[in-house]
Amino acid sequence: MSALPQVSVCIPVYNGEQFLAETIRSVLDQTYRDFELVVLDNSSTDATGRIARSFGDPRVRVQTNETTIAQPENWRAAVGLCRAPLVKLLCADDLLHPRCLEYQVGPMEADPGIAVVAARRHMVDERSRVLAPRRGLAGLTGVRSSVEVARRVVRSGANPIGEPGGVLFRREHYDAVGGWHPERRHVMDLDLWMRLLQCGEFLGLPETLAAFRVAQQSLSVDNEAGVYEHQKAIMAELVNGSGLGYIV
């Protein structure tokens, strides 16, 4: 592995002892080897820190916040610790397919015009059993322009690209567009994907390369309202061309 890795996978985590070991193993089992794994423990009160430090793999770096900070700020801090030109944020209960980085890094290295590479994902339960296979990227496989993606997002009224675990992006673009926006905390992923696409094209892979874990408890009414309001704001920006630069 080179002095500076080609890919940084970062896991921001708070009290994630139930699934963290499985998530870390899914990263360390990648067929693509030139990566670092950054685990940012948000001052957890459970065994998160001990689990993260138990692997003894030189590719793993574990940092701990002095105090617990808000989730959006922890996501920003996690990416801030990354040293590589390509970045993936993985939530502490989600999983990667062993060939995820292999399939995603190649196109990014081959074509500097690609800003975002995304893949489909399985929805899994607390025992990692597949509840819904091959979700996401309807109408978005292959190379797509930012306008094509914006149109698909507006027509879906949701996030057809998916959660962070299925997406790889460039650190320089992340910095250029201002990173995760805390004020969009309920849809930070979709908000960032659309801003990154101001920097280049989108590639949707047909393979299923990640797994998103569905929590046993559903979203609270307050969270559901927040998701709706934040999604509505993004859709309005895409339609009107304000802020994100698109007219759909």
Q: pLDDT by residue for the chain (248 residues), tens digit each?
A: 458 999 999 999 999 999 999 999 999 999 999 999 999 999 999 999 999 999 999 999 999 999 999 999 999 999 999 999 999 999 999 999 999 999 999 999 999 999 999 999 999 999 999 999 999 999 999 999 999 999 999 999 999 999 999 999 999 999 999 999 999 888 999 999 999 999 999 999 999 999 999 976 433 444 665 565 666 666 677 777 655 555 44
- Residues near 30 by beta carbon (within 8 Å), at least 6 away in sequence: 96, 98, 99, 100, 101, 102
Closest CA to 165 of 208, 124, 211, 103: 211
Is the CB of residue 118 less than 8 Å from the CB of residue 161?
yes
Given this model, what pLDDT does residue 219 score?
39
Given this model, what pLDDT does residue 185 score?
86
Torsion of the alpha carbons at 167, 100, 9 and 26, rounded to the nearest 10 = 130
How far is CA 114 from its chain centroid? 16
Given this model, what pLDDT does residue 193 score?
98
Given this model, what pLDDT does residue 231 score?
64
> Six-digit token pair at 59?
């590719």
Given this model, what pLDDT does residue 232 score?
66
Given this model, what pLDDT does residue 228 score?
55
Given this model, what pLDDT does residue 221 score?
41
Given this model, what pLDDT does residue 236 score?
74
Given this model, what pLDDT does residue 240 score?
74
- Residues near 167 by beta carbon (within 8 Å), at least 6 away in sequence: 88, 116, 117, 118, 119, 161, 189, 193
> Six-digit token pair at 70?
């808000």
